[in-house]
Structures are given as C-alpha cells and as structure tokens.
Amino acid sequence: MLFTRADFPLVRSDELADEAPFWTHYLAMLHDERQLMSMLEVDGADWDAMYERLHDPERWPVLRVALDEGGHYAVYWCNIPDDKGLHIERLSAGRARTLVADLADGCPAALLAWDDLLEIAVTVPRRSGVLPRLRRFLLLLPLLGAAPEDAHLVVRKTFAPRSRADRLLLDAAVAITQDWSRREFAEDERTELWRAA
C-alpha cells in the first residue's frame, strides 16, 4: 500500500517529553538503553507500555520543537507495517516541509552544528505549548554532528534542573554528550538528508 503524508495518523504528543520511559526509547540510539533505564529509574513494565504507545499503528506520536522565527521541527514515529521509521521534519515559517532525517537505523544524522543545536534549544519562542529547553535539546540531539570536549560541562551549566525528574534527565544528557565528544562519525554512519516529495 502506498502512503502519502496526508494518510499519516499523527497525534500531537508533546506530553511524552515529561515521561522518563519515552527518553529511554528515544535516546537509545545514542546511549546504552539499560544504562538509560537505570539513570531514569524506568522499569521493564513502563518501558513496554511506552513501546506500545510509540508504535501504535493507529496513532503516530509527534513532538514539536518550535522555532523562534516561526515553524518547527517535528519528531514522529512512522508506524507503517513492515516499513517503520523515526522521522524528523522541519516545517518553515512559510509552511514548506522538509524531511530532515529518518533515524530508523538508529544513526545520528550529523546535520546540526553544536552551536546551532544549543541556540535552538535555549531560544524558546514566547508562545504557549512550547517544550522546555532541555527537552528541546534532547529531541534534536540525534541531528548533532561533532561535539566539543567540554560539551557535557556546557550541558550541565546551560540546563539547570527544576525538579528531580529534570535532574535525572540532565544526568542522562550529560552522560550522552560526554560520550559524544569522544565520537567521530564515519561517513557511512551518517543518515542521508532527504527532501520531502
């Protein structure tokens, strides 16, 4: 069956960013999943329940990172049977849509520079329904290319936690960026840049 984007049963699901099991799934492409479950205090039952929510063929979760100049990045699960994917799109202020990356293979896309990622994360638009800064950072983290050696220190300083859940998530972000600064991506490990038809 041939699908077009108009057929996608996308459901706005920004509330998932406040649930620790969500991050154990989403960040597993960047860090050991068992370590993430331990750091975020997620048990197997909660992990399984989140898996079912993320891969529901009737409701495809989508989370948005709003941009200050208008438009947004959208992260969504493409739950087509036998052709599943994890997509990141960018919608410009002029409503032009670009499929930036398909992360189905778990490969970081290496499409955003470190400074650009930080700027998007901390420049929070003044409108309702906008995700907090650390969650904006983590949603776009798979698009990051190289990170500086002090990336984990910058993350710790930039994203001050406001709750225990924030602190746990920040610790995970620090661990990931500390590993990231030591990583060099080979050309064949980078997800291609795709243009939407």
Residue 194 lies in a domain: no
Domain that holds residue 16: 5-189
Cα–Cα distance, 183 to 185 (Å, whole number): 6
Q: Which residue, chain included where needed, has tokens 């776009």?
A: 140
**Phi and psi at residue 177, in whole multiples of 5°?**
-70, -25
Burial class (CB in 10 A: 0-12, 13-18, 19+), 83: exposed
How far, in Å, CA of 108 to CA of 125, rounded? 26
Residue 99 belongs to some domain of the structure: yes
- Tens digits of pLDDT across the chain (197 residues): 334 566 689 999 999 999 999 999 999 988 999 999 999 999 999 999 999 999 999 999 999 999 987 889 999 998 988 778 888 988 887 766 777 777 766 666 678 899 999 999 999 887 767 899 999 999 999 999 888 999 999 999 999 999 999 999 999 999 999 988 776 544 444 443 333 32
Q: Is residue 195 part of a domain?
A: no
Domain count, the chain: 1
| pTM summary value | 0.86
